Structure 1
């Protein structure tokens, strides 16, 4: 017989969320570790130097090809690129600032007060909370890890991870601005993204296993101040999200100018193929969710449902998000979570796009 003192009985862990949080006592309401999903100092410096080299190369090319840059095709490319970048930049900066503030100044206990302990009930609550607590996908992974660490059921935390970057107010306003006079587009994005996030959360709550998800480790420096966390989050997310925005704008401008129009029209005229093509493009480009609506709006050779797929899939499944998830929760988690998320995103894209667009 055990000599341990008697204590309150605890029901056996029957789900992934229960098994991870079974021994959680409510203490340690700390900030998510600032290191989660963020590169170390040398890598950040390398990113800055890479952009410096790129800018220098562009300046040299400008001096060398000054005459060639007056060509009609290049002027059209520059117009599309500039329009996408400058329209999206204010939303990008505002979204990154909000995300950094949430990471630095909002304690995990704030979320815990509103999210039920039961995973099945917590999933839709967590999904809806993404509509009022904005954050880009760069911050959603460490925030979700912090919520799991502090006792939130993993299914609910993962639902928030998927919903917050896709349906927060900054993203929805940016979508409305990118598609003026078409409110059905941002409504479709809201419904498709929220539906996919909630369904993924429910499936994970029902079928997820403990060994599929590596619990995040609390490894942040104990003397880190909230101001330092805010500054580091802001600098990191702005550099990386800005870089992805530039890459996305370049790709969209190139697609609009360099690719023969008949090729694009040929793909765009095929409803299912067009949706799949833009879904793959969203995964590869890894554009920040505060900016992807402007890129999607520029891809007007594709159907509205295909444009919706670009905006629904991107914030849930892209290359940078997969890397962040693997670093936080492990590759075993990614192998199961990413295909499930992609399938749900595509199903809801076809469903909501067919009904509203």
Structure 2
């Protein structure tokens, strides 16, 4: 039995049928998110402390940015799980795992989405028999090198078109390198996919069931990550950033850490990076490479999808690789 089979063939527990349920946890989550968006201003007005108002604004903003792409990723994940046969992946990707990793990374070019959607998709790919190394390369590459993100980067940096090439190239290098690293050092027992409802019966029912499961599982951790990001935004003084901008080394580290803490969607982070004009282009490139691969909400979602043992190893290694590669590419191209 291969390592992939050991991951994908783990028995899952079947949820007991709940006939007649019309309003469940997914609907409740959707209603709460809609209410938060609709009554954002009245709720903010009820909070007198400006720091609490800032927390509320950041929390809702992260959710508003991320939820559409999370839903897109969940739907695509369910399509992969229910409608795409396992034999497709055997034909679509090279049989040798070392070659499947860069192929999966390049596949991220054709998927417009952010990191919130790539997590459930990567989990679904592993369930469908794709080697975890290739699925993880796709997870890291898709949010950073897809056309929407690269177009947003070009718009945000109109006078620095080289930033687009640097971001796309550095992100792809990190994704492929982490896939190969997992192929060499990763262990099957580090990935523990959550149990999913069995897929017997109607494909439509299986599709709906898979969507419900992933929305609740990934969505719950997204809320936790958004809350953590909002808290950091309130706690960390902005004056610290001004003091660090003049130091080339510390500015890179500062923006890398800031990317983790802010948890900005990859479709919007280029505009934030462009606004940090006091920092060098290289440090801002590191911000753009790190953000879609390692941030608070993404770590929380990876923990929920793949397990804590995976997240505590994969996230720090990815952070280090993104900083090193982003700095090297920035020194050459920017």
SS of match in other structure, 1:172: helix
Change (3 A) 1:143 1:234: same
Query: What are the residue-to-residue correspondences of 1:49-68 with 2, within 5 Å?
Result: 49-58=35-44
For residue 318 of structure 1, what is the aligned residue in structure 2? 295
Q: What is the CA deviation profile of residues 253-294 of structure 1, one whole-angstrom value per residue up to 9, with x for unaligned ones?
A: xx9xx945xx64431111111111111111111111111111
Superposed, 1:153-302 pairs within 5 Å as 153-219=131-197, 224=205, 259=238, 264-302=241-279
Q: Which residue of 2 aligns with 1:150?
A: 128
- Give the secondary structure class of the aligned counterpart of 1:131: helix
Q: State the partner residue of 2:315.
A: 338
Partner of 1:347: 324
2:4 corresponds to: 20
| Alpha-carbon distance, 1:320 to partner | 1.0
Q: CA RMSD in A?
A: 4.2
- Per the TM alignment, residue 217 of structure 1 is displaced from its structure 2 partner at its CA by 3.0
- Distance in 1 (CA, whole Å) between partners of 2:318 and 2:299 is 11
Using structure 1 for the length normalisation, give the TM-score. Answer: 0.70
For residues 175 and 52 of structure 1, do their structure 2 counterparts lie closer, same or farther at Cα, with a shift above 3 Å needed? same
Cα separation, 2, equivalents of 1:291 and 1:97? 17
Of 285, 303, 306, which residue of structure 1 is paired with 2:280? Answer: 303
In the alignment, structure 1 segments of 5+ residues that lack a partner are 1-12, 26-38, 65-80
TM-score computed with the length of structure 2 as normaliser: 0.74
Contact (CA 8 Å) 1:141, 1:328: kept in 2 or not? Answer: yes
User: Given the superposition, is the C-alpha separation of residues 259 and 205 from structure 1 closer, same or farther in structure 2, using an over 3 Å criterion?
Assistant: closer
Q: Distance in 1 between matches of 2:272 and 2:216?
A: 23
Aligned pairs, how many? 302
The answer to whether the 8 Å contact 1:20/1:215 transfers is: no
Number of the residue aligned with 1:117: 95
1:229–1:49 distance in 2 versus 1, CA, 3 Å: same
* Higher normalized helix content (fraction of residues): 2
Give CA-to-partner distance per residue, 1:206-226, whole Å, 9 cap, x none.
111111111443327766375
Q: Name the SS of the counterpart of 1:113 in structure 2.
A: helix
